[in-house]
Amino acid sequence: MDVTKIPFFNMLVRRMDWLAQRQDVLAQNVANADTPGYRPRDLEAMDFRALVRDAAGTRGQTARTHPAHLSIGAPQAAAFSSAPQRKTYETSLSGNAVVLEEQLAKVGETKMEHELATTIYRKYLGLFQIAIGRGGNS
């Protein structure tokens, strides 16, 4: 069974991909902490609304049943793009703007978010296994 065809799992997989790519970018920042003139980079935040639009697009358009309800537009692909950090807290005399404490805090935050997404993914797979009668002890 390809669980990525289920919109919820597809969103989780895309989130984990984004988090893995962010860890790579943050690792490059840490590795270049002593490189003169280096500016730290980070990924643009994922747009949750775009993920929901993509998921809705796989099953057809959503219907707005009440004027007070939110409407969802056409699906758009969310790209992972890296950009220089706009706010840097410190810059060394060599022009390097990497603050190790800041980068390591982002690494820790990204790790926790990845663990959360992995746990949710594992639990939902367990629910599917229970539903089809194969246990689900994961």
pLDDT tens, position by position, 18-65: 999 999 999 999 999 999 989 999 998 887 777 777 666 655 455 666
CA 53 to chain centre: 16
User: What are 137's strand-pairing partners?
Assistant: none
pLDDT, residue 92, reads 63
Written as six digits, the tokens of 98 are: 């990497």
* Least confident span in 72-76, 84-88, 110-114, 133-137: 72-76
pLDDT, residue 56, reads 66
Could you please report the per-residue DSSP string of 1-55? Answer: --GGGSHHHHHHHHHHHHHHHHHHHHHHHHHTTTSTT---EEEPPP-HHHHHHHH
The yes-or-no verdict on residue 17 having pLDDT over 90 is yes
Is residue 19 within 8 Å of residue 117, measured between CB atoms? Answer: yes
b/e map of 37-62 (b: 16 or more CB within 10 Å)? Answer: ebbbbbbeebeeebbebbbbbeeeee
Taking residues 9-13, report their average pLDDT: 87
Mean pLDDT of the residues in the chain: 78
Written as six digits, the tokens of 130 are: 């229970």
pLDDT, residue 53, reads 73
What band does 132 get if pLDDT is binned at 50, 70 and 90?
confident
Q: pLDDT for 77-124, tens place per residue?
A: 445 666 666 565 666 667 788 999 999 999 999 999 999 999 999 998
The yes-or-no verdict on residue 73 having pLDDT over 50 is no
pLDDT, residue 28, reads 95
